[in-house]
Amino acid sequence: MIKAVISGTGLYTPPAIIENDELVEAFNQYVEMFNNEHAEQIARGEVAALQPSSSAFIEKASGIKRRHVIDRDGILDPNRMAPYIPERSNDEPSVQCEMSVVACKEALAQAGKTVKDVDAVIVACSNMQRPYPAIAIEVQEALGIEGFAYDMNVACSSATFGLQAAVNSVENGAARSVLVVSPEICSGHLNFRDRDSHFIFGDACTAILVEREEDTQAGQGFEILGTRLTTRFSNNIRNNFGFLNRADEAGIGKPDKLFIQQGRKVFKEVSPLVAETIQGHLESLSLSPDDLTRMWLHQANLNMNQLIARKVLGRDANLEEAPVILDEYANTSSAGSIIAFHKHKDDLKAGELGVICSFGAGYSIGSVVVRHR
């Protein structure tokens, strides 16, 4: 039977950074402008005054200190509060393609492979900048890969669901190796005027190369012992942007065309589901939580990750057992758990086990158990 391994990973980090204090300053300028502009309606009780944001709240509630973004200036302009990413001509590479190519090249270099060794590209992320042609096919073309490519979206769980699709293709012989790429431009669909969520997301792109074990060197990379996917419908994280918006002009420009969530409900409902999924997955592989050296968890909220790790292990996890990258990157949706894996995998010894686990909108949860070879 063909076995699949992760032989390389790559990461593109946009150079621009926004610190919490800078984001809060811009938000609070917007609040002041709004409240001044609506002073009379606010005094008459017709409009609610907006409340300021605070860096102390952000760090305490989420663990986020800063985020990387494609564009700082547009986000920090209180008159705009959206990234400035000019539309490109059809003859130029798209932004998501450009990010993907950088991350893929690093994954290939890490695996010691070239594009000639790759048969497929899956672009798996929460928002594609266009519906078609698939970003994945553009990436395939930009890299010069023969074979096939497609896009898929399972919000924050896109990368782990993409990993399962890659494993299936490798194990059933459809491809010798597959690149799973997650170019997340979360700043493009975040409402920077919403105090509850303006601090949550950042931008980044990850890539993972999944290959047949026989095509890799002994001791290279991580054997994939199993994947488990779980979904349960919920409206608590939603984005209603879509092609039907133009069919109902009244809806255009409403806040729900960007990211919205009931953060507290998500926290409460998703944390136990994630812990159960990991425990059940380990059990199905005749493993126990004590066998895990590392948990590369989705990076949405530090308190949530600490709770999930505690539920799985039955005790607090330290930073080595459950590494954190969201202080630097914020929530990068599906890229988050893969950034944690990319940055914190090389010190594992042969035979040591870990779990990559994503969770988010859908709800969707993806668990991937791996063993260092």
Specify which residues 148 forms β-bridges with.
Answer: 120
CA distance linking residue 173 with residue 117, whole number of Å? 14
Using CB under 6 A as the binding rule, whether residue 301 contacts ligand CO8 is answered as yes
Using CB under 6 A as the binding rule, whether residue 189 contacts ligand CO8 is answered as yes
Using CB under 6 A as the binding rule, whether residue 63 contacts ligand CO8 is answered as no
DSSP at 30: H
Q: Using the rule CB under 6 A, which residue among 179, 300, 340, 355 binds ligand CO8? A: 300
Using CB under 6 A as the binding rule, whether residue 154 contacts ligand CO8 is answered as no
156 catalytic? Reply is yes
Closest CA to 360 of 231, 272, 264, 241: 231
Using CB under 6 A as the binding rule, whether residue 196 contacts ligand CO8 is answered as yes
**Helix 55-62 vs helix 20-37: crossing angle, to nearest 10:** 120
Question: Which residue number, 136 or 190, has a Cβ lying nearer to ligand CO8?
Answer: 190
Q: Using the rule CB under 6 A, which residue among 4, 11, 121, 155 binds ligand CO8? A: 155
Question: Which residue number, 199 or 341, has a Cβ lying nearer to ligand CO8?
Answer: 199
Using CB under 6 A as the binding rule, whether residue 124 contacts ligand CO8 is answered as no
Using CB under 6 A as the binding rule, whether residue 263 contacts ligand CO8 is answered as yes
| Structural contact between residues 298 and 358, judged by C-beta atoms closer than 8 angstroms | yes
Centre a 10 Å sphere on the Cβ of residue 317 and count the other Cβ atoms it contains: 19
Q: To the nearest 10°, the Cα dihedral for 92, 97, 100, 106?
A: -30
Using CB under 6 A as the binding rule, whether residue 161 contacts ligand CO8 is answered as no
Closest CA to 110 of 41, 201, 207: 207
Could you tell me which stretch among 14-22, 107-115, 140-148, 259-267 binds ligand CO8 (CB under 6 A)? 259-267
Centre a 10 Å sphere on the Cβ of residue 285 and count the other Cβ atoms it contains: 15
Closest CA to 163 of 146, 177, 144, 147: 177
Catalytic residue among 97, 125, 156, 205: 156
Binding-site ranges for ligand CO8 (CB under 6 A): 53-54, 57-58, 61-62, 126, 155-156, 186, 189-190, 195-196, 199, 201, 237, 259, 261, 263-264, 266-267, 300-301, 304, 331, 333, 360-361
Catalytic sites, residue numbers: 156
